[in-house]
């Protein structure tokens, strides 16, 4: 091993070229003896992601937990140059949010005659359009619209809407393109829930938490609007995440932190904003991730404020 790396030089070069990833075929092609590769694994410098697919331990440790699935997808694609990520594996490749999907499975499309399932992997038959994509070595996933539609069909309505909201909001696709993708995919199963997800898309929604909150409230029959601008006698107060009816504001609090001077200033501004909302006659509900696990309680809170307002 060289002085600056925890890996033997050939493995270090492979990992450097592939953003921390190493595969057994690449190692063997670089004349790394199987015994050296196995010894490196035992040392803990490499982590096994899947059979024959490894990542530098330092890369794994530096990767955020919610990004590790995308790292695994990249490893699978590195090991199979003719494959494209599909379904929620493609969402991860496109850096779109994942919700309600099985992150133990990597879906891919490939030039095969029939679909195949094995532990942690689902290989789908590539459509003619996807085969054309495969001719471009820089494209390693099905298109954004296809990924959203396929995820909705396989993983459900809510999983699809979370991805679609984010994709349309970021202008990576559009509702019209999603409809066209639904037709092109010719789904055998899940077409109904994919179509329902497209119908429920809200381009104004800015986060998965807002999307999931909106879906819970709308499923309860409540009228909900996203990113509504509100004012009082002093002028513009701000945009709120969700407005239920005319008087109940719902704000989703994700991982907001108020450390340091800037954080304390932001906290004071947020408190002043909420005071102005209350003084203007609005009721405010703050929602966290844990609230989404108790949808009935969340709906009850909102209904009680609607009645009071």
Determine contact, residues 265/250, Cβ cutoff 8 Å. Answer: no
The overall longest dimension of the chain from CA atoms, in Å, is 75
Q: What is the pLDDT of residue 165?
A: 98
Q: Over 80: is that where the pLDDT of 200 sits? A: yes
**Which DSSP letter does residue 96 get?**
-
Q: Which residues contact 212 (CB under 8 A, 6 or more apart)?
A: 99, 158, 162, 292
Q: Over 50: is that where the pLDDT of 162 sits? A: yes
Confidence of residue 1 (pLDDT cuts 50, 70, 90): very low
Give the CA distances from residue 27 to residues 41, 70, 238, in Å, rounded to whole numbers and listed in that order: 13, 22, 55
Radius of gyration of the chain (CA): 24
Determine contact, residues 84/109, Cβ cutoff 8 Å. Answer: yes
- How far apart are alpha carbons 282 and 304 in whole angstroms? 13
CA angle 224, 225, 228 (to 5 degrees): 140
| Domain range summary for the chain, segments of one domain joined by + | 9-62, 65-199, 208-308
Please provide the DSSP assignment of 218-242 as one string: HHTT--EEEEEEEEETTEEEEEEEE
Residues facing 244 on adjacent strands:
224, 248
Residue 146, SS3 per DSSP: helix
How large a percentage of the chain has pLDDT more than 70? 91
Q: Over 90: is that where the pLDDT of 254 sits? A: no
Determine contact, residues 159/88, Cβ cutoff 8 Å. Answer: yes
Q: What is the pLDDT of residue 2?
A: 44
- How far apart are alpha carbons 24 and 62 in whole angstroms? 23
Q: What is the pLDDT of residue 231?
A: 86
Q: Which residues contact 9 (CB under 8 A, 6 or more apart)?
A: 1, 2
Mean pLDDT taken over the chain: 91
How many CA atoms, within 13 angstroms, populate the side-chain half-sphere of residue 179? Answer: 6
Q: What is the pLDDT of residue 195?
A: 97
Q: What is the pLDDT of residue 255?
A: 60
- How far apart are alpha carbons 20 and 155 in whole angstroms? 30
Give the CA distances from residue 40 to residues 25, 78, 93, in Å, rounded to whole numbers and listed in that order: 15, 20, 28
The residue ranking higher by pLDDT, 2 or 308, is 308
pLDDT in tens, 274-300: 889 988 999 999 999 999 999 999 999
- How far apart are alpha carbons 45 and 49 in whole angstroms? 13
Give the CA distances from residue 182 to residues 149, 159, 175, 198, in Å, rounded to whole numbers and listed in that order: 6, 16, 11, 9
How many other C-beta atoms can be found within 10 angstroms of the C-beta atom of residue 242? 25
Left (φ > 0), alpha (ψ -120 to 50) or beta: where does 159 sit?
alpha
- Answer yes or no: CATH 3.40.960.10 is held by domain 208-308: yes
pLDDT in tens, 173-191: 999 999 999 998 888 899 9
Determine contact, residues 6/58, Cβ cutoff 8 Å. Answer: yes
pLDDT in tens, 203-237: 999 999 999 999 999 999 999 999 999 988 888 98
Confidence of residue 157 (pLDDT cuts 50, 70, 90): very high
């Amino acid at each position: 091993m060289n002085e600056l790396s925890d890996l033997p030089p050939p493995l270090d070069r492979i990992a450097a070229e592939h953003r921390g990833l190493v595969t057994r075929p690449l190692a063997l092609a670089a004349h790394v003896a199987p015994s050296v590769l196995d010894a490196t694994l035992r040392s803990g410098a490499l982590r096994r992601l899947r059979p024959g697919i490894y990542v530098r331990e330092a890369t794994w440790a530096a990767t955020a937990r919610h990004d590790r699935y995308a790292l695994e997808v990249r490893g699978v694609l590195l090991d199979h140059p003719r494959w494209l990520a599909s379904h929620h594996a493609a969402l991860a490749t496109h850096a779109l949010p994942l919700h309600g999907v099985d992150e133990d499975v990597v879906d891919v499309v490939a030039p095969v005659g029939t679909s195949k399932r094995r532990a942690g992997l689902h290989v789908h038959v590539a459509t003619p359009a996807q085969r054309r994509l495969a001719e471009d070595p820089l494209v390693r996933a099905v298109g954004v619209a296809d990924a959203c539609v396929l995820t909705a069909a396989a993983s459900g309505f809510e999983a699809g809407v979370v991805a679609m909201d984010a994709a349309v909001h970021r202008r990576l696709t559009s509702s019209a393109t999603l409809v066209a993708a639904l037709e092109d995919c010719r789904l055998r199963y899940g077409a109904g829930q994919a179509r329902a997800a497209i119908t429920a898309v809200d381009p104004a929604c800015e986060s998965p938490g807002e999307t999931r909150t909106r879906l819970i409230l709308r499923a309860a029959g409540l009228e909900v609007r996203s990113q509504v601008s509100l004012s009082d006698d002093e002028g513009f107060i701000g945009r709120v995440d969700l407005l239920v009816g005319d008087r109940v504001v719902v704000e989703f609090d994700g991982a907001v932190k108020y450390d340091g001077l800037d954080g304390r200033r932001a906290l004071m501004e947020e408190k002043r904003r909420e005071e102005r909302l209350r003084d203007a006659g609005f009721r405010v509900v703050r929602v966290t991730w844990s609230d989404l696990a108790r949808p009935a309680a969340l709906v009850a809170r909102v209904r009680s404020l609607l009645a009071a307002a």
